[in-house]
Amino acid sequence: MSSMETSVGIVEKQFFTFAEAPNKIVLESGAELGPVTIAYETYGILNDQKDNAILIAHAFSGDSHVAGHYATDKKDDKPGWWDFLVGPEKGIDTNKYFVICPNILGSCKGSTGPSSINPETDEPYGLNFPMMTIGDIVVTQKMLIDHLGIKRLRAVVGGSVGGMQILEWCVRYPNMVQAALPIATTMRHSALAIAFNEIARQSIISDPNWNKGDYYNSQPPNLGLAVARMVGHVTYLSDAAMRRKFGRKLQDKKSFSYGFDGDFQVESYLRYQGEKFVNRFDANSLLYITKAADYFDVVDLMKTPALETKPADNKIKYLVVSFSSDWLYPTYQAKELVQALKYKGEDVSFCEIEADCGHDAFLIPDDRFISLIRGFINGIS
């Protein structure tokens, strides 16, 4: 059976535009923004009661293309980034559930971000785009959910920065969330995570082509963006994964070049990842989204009553998932989240999956992970 036959099939990106002037949205920084467009994809059918909806939040450089294929003749067309998990009779079964994945505010994959046209200047925003937060991202997602006529989400699911969005949903709109799956994530960035993000940002800002963010009509800062991706990519892997995949193998060589051409396979791999990334992502978006992730902090909110009154019988059911080799958001951070949720009296389960793939383990097909998600989703009542 082909991947097309087992997937949701052909999908199409959709767009929702709101906050037209003078009704702009006010961001946490106090800045106003509008109009705002959110790109999103949906899979499955929303039932008459509109109570079978699941929202999936993507990681920082991801997009709304969770599953299926676009209508294209390209032979290299890839399925959505969670195609192994989302689809008919898969972990998140689109025969049962209506799945929504919005592209986040500040991105460059269809939603309003720094590369979008500023209606006041008819030029790309660049650094005139206001700084946004994970909270602002979730506010725009709620507006989309309201637009779709959904009063309560059966579940909210996301990994990494997507997991931050899930926690923000639970803090801001607990009455709209029946269950939550924060995966490979944290309540706030450690100094280590902030440090790696700052190195990535400085690599872009130091590129002479960055031009203080005004590069859309000229040569973009591809070198800086590529280095930023190389740095980030190392944090997504693990020592075991890199040792297994590369070790100290040479790249098309029998001996050292005694130069800087890239002798080792791991060097070639990272250069390839960097070069590939510049063709699909915007440097300014990386600056804004990584900063939003660094600002994110719900530690105190997880230890205090919700921002919104929540009936005692409307308790969110949580499943917190971590991976043993994730050193970007280590298991101890997941356990701190579990402890905070238990302190608040929440219904929380926890699972650490043994995997040596590092932080990116949640993006790699794993029968244990799929079964865990399936069991939790189907058990929500």
Spatial CB neighbours of 319, under 8 Å, sequence gap ≥ 6: 179, 180, 181, 348, 349, 350, 351, 372, 376
Tell me which of 7, 61, 111, 160 is the catalytic residue: 160
AA identity, residue 70: Y
Residue 298 exposure: Cα atoms within 13 Å on the Cβ side: 29
Alpha helices per DSSP H over the chain:
134-147, 161-172, 191-205, 222-236, 239-245, 265-277, 283-295, 331-343, 367-378
Residue 279 in tokens = 């063709």
Question: Residue 106 — φ and ψ, nearest 5°?
Answer: 90, -10
Spatial CB neighbours of 109, under 8 Å, sequence gap ≥ 6: 39, 63, 64, 103
For residue 220, say if its preceding peptide bond is cis, omega within 30 degrees of 0: no
Tell me which of 7, 325, 359, 360 is the catalytic residue: 359
Would residue 359 show up in a list of annotated catalytic residues for this protein?
yes
Tell me which of 207, 263, 326, 360 is the catalytic residue: 326
Would residue 122 show up in a list of annotated catalytic residues for this protein?
no
DSSP state of 131: P
Would residue 65 show up in a list of annotated catalytic residues for this protein?
no
Q: Which residues are catalytic?
A: 160, 326, 359
